[in-house]
Amino acid sequence: MSYDPNIPYNDLPLLPPEVDLDDPVLLKKSIKAIRSIFRLNGETMLLPNPFLLTQPLITQEALQSSEIEDIHTTVEDVFEAELFGDERPGPQKEVLHYKDALMEGAKQVVDDEILPTKTIIRLQKIIEPKRPGIRKVPGTAISNQATGERVYTPPEGYDRLLDLLGNMERFIHNDNDGFDPLIKAVVAHYQFEAIHPFRDGNGRTGRILLVLHLMMDKMLDLPILFVSEYINKNKSEYYRALRGVTERQEWKEYIIYMLDALEVQAMVTHGRIIRIKEMLDDIKETIHELKMPERLGDLIFSYPVITITKVKDELGVSRQTASGYLKRLEKAGKLESSKMKKELLFFNRNFIKSLSHG
């Protein structure tokens, strides 16, 4: 039966796909990408406080992934929104829902070392709390935004969607199939996007699952490698590669695209980690000269937009002392301040710019 974009794709083939995943070209590309991933992971774990200092990169990914879905804001606005909790505006709230889901998923993978369907459903609920759960009503379709032409109608039927997710789950957790782990991760990424099990949040959930897959396979210790930035720069090629698999079973072209994305982003993020270390060393040198606590350096990189209250609470000092620390760093040219919501905000502006412009 030929593929028809106007008909629900209930005949979506199960995994593993009928394609040679041991193709020498694919394996050679995967080895290069894995080498870059391990190099990034090693550099990340050399940071003095890897978990805290990579939080801004995770925020940046939340922003990039949301941009793919036409949710637009700025990295600085998102950092500000994190300070004000329930007062977050719409776009920033959606970006931070994504970050919350990513961190929850990372915790689950570290604790359980598996990616079951129930975890996937829980993550989507965090991303889209107003439209949670597996689709039960027909009518979902994906159209070209410019022309309105329908380009894909995902499978329908609650039971069919659960069956497809169950097949994907078994594929992910089969350690005896001999498949290259990185190729396997990008195959599973396509399958999730094709199943499209939710009313909303599928793309964002799928991109979270990809990095969680790398953590589950012990390629990453932290959720630090993301393809969203690469996809944003090469969006038409990404969707063309996905359609190639759906319409003509052109797996090789899609897998090559995704392996290139992972390799490139591993190198880009490695460069960012190096720059974080350089900027951190520079600020810590100033902090040392000013005889302030060394931990203050980690803090203003973990929270590139920070308040006096945050410093007071995190360092266990008086408000007057915290204020003095930040104002002395501002005088030294390391921070900039601005008043907002009766709070004085301090910006690690050079670091924010490095995240905004790569």
Same domain (yes/no): 319, 183: no
Contact 42, 272 (CB under 8 A): no
Each residue's pLDDT tens digit, 315-328: 999 999 999 999 99
Share of the chain above pLDDT 70, in %: 97
Share of the chain above pLDDT 90, in %: 82
pLDDT at 88 (0 to 100): 57
pLDDT at 80 (0 to 100): 84
Each residue's pLDDT tens digit, 242-288: 999 999 999 999 999 999 999 999 999 999 999 989 999 999 999 99
pLDDT at 26 over 90: yes
What span, in angstroms and rounded, lies between the C-alpha atoms of 348 and 358? 16
| Domain's final residue, options 238, 272, 306 | 272
Closest CA relative to residue 99, chosen from 119, 113, 76, 79: 79
Domain count, the chain: 2
pTM of the model: 0.93
- The enclosing domain of 203 has a CATH number of 1.10.3290.10
Contact 345, 80 (CB under 8 A): yes
Same domain (yes/no): 205, 344: no
Count CB atoms within 10 A of the CB of residue 15: 19
Same domain (yes/no): 54, 97: yes
pLDDT at 107 (0 to 100): 96
Same domain (yes/no): 108, 257: yes
22-35 mean pLDDT: 98
pLDDT at 298 (0 to 100): 92
Same domain (yes/no): 250, 340: no
End-to-end CA separation in angstroms for the chain: 45
- Which residue is associated with the tokens 């950092």? 79
Same domain (yes/no): 247, 301: no
Same domain (yes/no): 323, 238: no
pLDDT at 87 (0 to 100): 57
3 lies in a domain?
A: no
Structural domain containing residue 90: 24-272
What span, in angstroms and rounded, lies between the C-alpha atoms of 269 and 355? 10
Same domain (yes/no): 268, 305: no
| Domain's final residue, options 202, 237, 272 | 272
Same domain (yes/no): 222, 313: no
